[in-house]
Structures are given as structure tokens and as C-alpha cells.
Amino acid sequence: MAKRIFGVDLGGTTVKLGLFDEQGELLDKWEIPTRKEDSGSHILPDIADSVKAKMEEAGIEKNDVVGVGIGVPGPVDGKGVIHKAANLGWGVFSIREELAVLLGGIPVEAGNDANVAALGEMWKGGGRGCENMVAVTLGTGVGGGIIVDGKVLSGSNGAGGEIGHIHIVDEEEDACGCGNHGCLEQYASATGVTRLARKRLEKDDKASSLRDGELSAKDVWDAVKAGDELAVEVAEQFGDYLGKGLAAVAAVANPERFVIGGGVSKAGDILFKYIVEPYKKYVFHGSRDAEFVLATLGNDAGIYGAARLVLG
């Protein structure tokens, strides 16, 4: 029978699972809840049970499974060891080994979820054909996944690609979630964009559609598209900070392409109008021609990337 791969994307409330063939075609996908009680001790057994149930349902023999890949919300080193995931109640242990035992010896690979999603975008999404790329997730925070020569850069303890915490603004008085002040995430995440907008609104009385009602990142980008001058100022500030941050990333990793995803990226191509010019201004000339594209896999990037992990 043809070979199969399972890709698992472990989130704080839901585990997404995907069944793939070796060419990366998604044959089936489903979800199970993430049971965080008892220090997260049910999570891996639940995943193993779900994989085994699917194998039985689809008539897949153990020998036909190339492996199971999993992305988890926490730092995972190159050997598949998680270094604490507080939101799951997990300490330090080898996901690779524990899950493999639960699966009766099927090979397992594990990685950080943002890094794994980057791998998914490289394999089947906006980064297709790129061996050196950076996936940037502009969501609640700013996440990054650095792909070097086709492999995820995990770093010495799994904190590679934490590009949301590059220091950008010296004068920042508010603290980032990480405890530092002036991190990229404070300006380029969804909450960062609304924060920039709120600060701009407070600065003076300039007219803006953003003065009415709630204020979300989507509101800001909708106003930009409608030509709202104040919103455009916010977009320029956002773009200057993000362009500066990505230029620093490029000075280190020299990617061929940036793949932009996450909630803020739903604004679409208009983002690039504000990011690319500052990027080119701040970046070293050797990286000036990097491409900027939108991510294409959405919430499935994680299961694609997890499956890709297995292929090494």
C-alpha cells in the first residue's frame, strides 16, 4: 500500500490532525479537543489513540506509516525535546520518544508550532520552492519561522525565530508580554496595530473614521483601504517598524522570501505597500531583493508542516 504520513498541530484548545501521502496531498483532516487537565498528561495518549483509530478506519498498516509529525506551542529543540510549555502544563521531556512509544514504535518528529507552520508554507504554501525563507505570523503576537536550507532553525533551546521580540523602539514605556520594552510584537501584531491606532487618535483631533465605535486591526486596514488619512499614518508607522524588524532578520538569515500570515495578513496585498519600502531602506543590499508574499495555507499550515517534518 502507498505510504502515509500524519501531521499533528497541537493547539491550546484543539488538536488538528491530517493524513497525507508522501507527496504532501492532504487526504483527510479532523480535530480532537486538547485535554489540558492533569498537567497535560492526556494530550499525547489522546493523539496516539486518534492516529491509531484513523489507521484502523482507513486500513493503514503500521509499516505503511512513514511517521507522525507534531507541532507544539512551546520551544522544541532539534532532538524533539520540549523545553516547557506552560499553557499545556508540560515540563521538559522528549515528545519524539514518548509519542513514538505510544504509537508502538512509529517514528515521530516534533517542532515548535510557528516553525512547523513555516515548514508547511515552504512545502505547499506561499514559500513553495524556497529553501531559505521566513514565515511571519502577524496574529495576537508576532511569530516567526526561519527556514534555512530547507530545515527549520530551532536554535540552541528552541527559541529560534522569535522575531516578535526584536527590539525596535527605545522610548517604549509599555511592557511587551515577554517583559521587555519596545518589541516588534508591540507594533506589528493585531493588538499592536490597534495600539498604534489608539495612540495616534489620542495625539490630536484629526478626523478619522476610526474615532467611531470599536477598534480592531481589521477596522484599521479597512480605513486604510478607504483612504482614511489617519489610518494611513498608522499603516506607515506599522510598516516602518515591521520593515525595520524584517531587515534585521534578513541581515542574519538572508531569506529568498518572506511569507506573511496570521490575522493581520487578511488585510491582503495592501500590507506590502507599507512594509516593503521601509524594508528596502533598512536592509543590507544582499537581501534587498527578497520577495514578500502572503501565506496560503491558513490554519492548515501546521498540519502540512508537521507532516513535512517527518520527511527530514
Contact positions toward a copy of itself, by CB under 8 A? 75, 78, 130-132, 144, 146, 148-149, 151, 153-163, 165-167, 178-180, 183, 244, 247-256, 281-287, 290
CA gap 68, 90 in Å, rounded: 20
Closer residue to a copy of itself in complex, CB, 20/292: 292
Give the torsion sign (CA, 254, 310, 124, 158). negative
Minimum separation from the CB atom of position 75 to a copy of itself (A): 6
Question: Measured from the CB of residue 182, what is the shortest distance to a copy of itself in angstroms?
Answer: 8
Closest to a copy of itself by CB, 54 vs 167, is 167
Pick between residue 273 and residue 288 the one whose CB is nearest to a copy of itself. Answer: 288
Closest CA to 299 of 137, 169, 190: 137
Residues whose CB is less than 8 angstroms from the CB of residue 76 and which lie 6 or more positions away in sequence, other chains included = 82, 83, 95, 110, 111, 112, 115, 154, 158
- State the greatest distance between any 2 C-alpha atoms of the chain, in Å, as a whole number: 68
Query: C-alpha grid cell for residue 174?
Result: 509599555
Q: Which is it for the CA torsion 204, 208, 212, 218, positive or negative?
A: negative
Q: Which residue's CB is nearer to a copy of itself, number 153 or number 193? A: 153
- Residue 14 beta carbon to a copy of itself: minimum distance, rounded to whole angstroms: 25
Tell which residue, 231, 224, 225, has the closest CA to residue 207.
231
CB closer to a copy of itself out of 166 and 220:
166
Q: Minimal distance in Å, beta carbon 180 to a copy of itself?
A: 7
Write down the least CB distance from residue 265 to a copy of itself, Å: 20
CB of 287 to a copy of itself, least distance (A): 5
Nearer to a copy of itself, 26 or 177 (CB): 177
Reading the block at residue 57, the C-alpha cell is 478506519
